[in-house]
Amino acid sequence: MDLATFLIQCLNAVQYGLLLFLIASGLTLIFGIMGVINLAHGSFYMLGAYLAFSIAPWFGTNFIALLVVGTLLAAVFGALLEWAFFSFLYERDHLQQVLMTYALILVFEETRSLLVGNDVHGVQVPPWLAGTLPLGTLMTYPVYRLFASLACVVVGVALHWLVNRTRLGMMIRAGASNREMVRALGIDIRRLYRIVFAGGVALAALAGMIAAPMTSVYPGMGGQVLIVCFVVVVIGGIGSIGGALVASLLVGVVDTFGKVFFAEYSGVGVYLLMAIVLVWRPEGLMRRRF
């Protein structure tokens, strides 16, 4: 493998990892703070992508506006979903949560099938982000992929600021390490949960919108990404955003380079990584620390 190809694969790995990070950070927060295992999280990614496809005609080339509006819509949807459905899951045991959220996937998939059909769709890369950019004299790299990585970094930084520098973030960190205590302190836990859940949904949907022009929009995308995100959360540690970042990048590297070197067996690579981490740290690399 020559240097140019290697660098391209590195960039691809980072871009994939950062996208995973957006989705996984929501998943790990929802689990860490509300104690709910949410199998439907991948569906939010899928819904985001289909949403991008659906509203794209109204935004033309104004991609940033599409992302912002889409994210807000997703957040509202998330808040409604939390109020109508998820708030009933907090007191139930894991088995019931698994079943309920599994049923939710069925409902989402079929509803999408009814509303938009099962076809594979494409979302146009906006012209100002199309094409490739020369990086040094060695190679060129798609502008959109750079944009995707950049967007994820911006969101990640905003998330870090939110969690570490605001009052809301303080409550989130407290809730992630001791749910009962936060409740006992009289903090409006219902509002906190709703915000966290809506945020998680918005992040996953945003990831779907960003990914849509690259991976196209297809029915099975939610399921595939969900399980990889579970691996990320296991490796990174439940409730830890930092852990989710490290784990996402690790998974990005293993998956991308795995595809290059091992072709058809590459799907296994990520799970082997998980197995190795489990031998060493059964509770994830960075459990419950932000």
Partner 1 sequence: MFRWWPLPAVVLLAALPALLTPYTSDLVVQVFVLAVFALSLELLVGMTGLVSLGHAAFYGIGAYVAMLASPAAGAGNLLTLLGASVGAAALYALFVGAFSLRTRGVYFIMVTLAFSQMAYFVFHDTGLAGGSDGLFLGKAPTLGPLDTADRRQFYFLALAALAGTYALLTLLRRSRFGHALAGIRVNEQRMRAAGFATTLYKLAAFVIAGALAGLAGCLLALKDGAVNPELLSWHESGAVLLMIILGGVGHLRGAVIGALAFVLLKELYSTPAVVGEFLAGHWPLTLGLTIIAFVAMLPRGLIGLFERRPR
Binding residues for partner 1 (CB under 8 A) = 31, 37, 39, 85, 88, 92, 94-96, 98-100, 102-107, 109-111, 113-114, 223, 227, 230-231, 233-234, 238, 264-265, 267-268, 270-272, 274-275, 278-279, 282-284
Handedness of CA 24, 157, 35, 250 (dihedral sign): positive
Q: How far is the CB of 211 from partner 1 (least distance, A)?
A: 20
Which tokens is 173 given?
A: 């960190």
Q: How far is the CB of 93 from partner 1 (least distance, A)?
A: 9
Those residues whose C-beta lies under 8 Å from the C-beta of residue 153, and which sit 6 or more positions away, are 18
Shortest distance, position 101 Cβ to partner 1, whole Å? 10
* Closer residue to partner 1 in complex, CB, 58/262: 262
Least separation in angstroms between CB 233 and partner 1: 7
CB of residue 245 vs partner 1: minimum separation in angstroms? 18
Q: How far is the CB of 102 from partner 1 (least distance, A)?
A: 4
Residue 206: both structure tokens together: 């945003």
Q: Which is nearer to partner 1, 31 or 63 (CB)?
A: 31
Q: Is 74 exposed, middle or buried (0-12, 13-18, 19+ CB in 10 A)?
A: buried
| Residue whose entry in the numeric block shows the structure tokens 């690259």 | 214
Identify which of residues 120 and 227 has a Cβ nearer to partner 1 in the complex. 227
Least Å from the CB of residue 284 to partner 1: 8
Write down the least CB distance from residue 113 to partner 1, Å.
Answer: 7
Task: Using the minimum distance from each CB to partner 1, give the nearer residue, 42 or 156.
Answer: 42
Closer CB to partner 1, 16 or 109, in the complex? 109
Q: How many CA atoms lie within 13 A of 194 on its CB side?
A: 12
- Closer CB to partner 1, 46 or 75, in the complex: 46
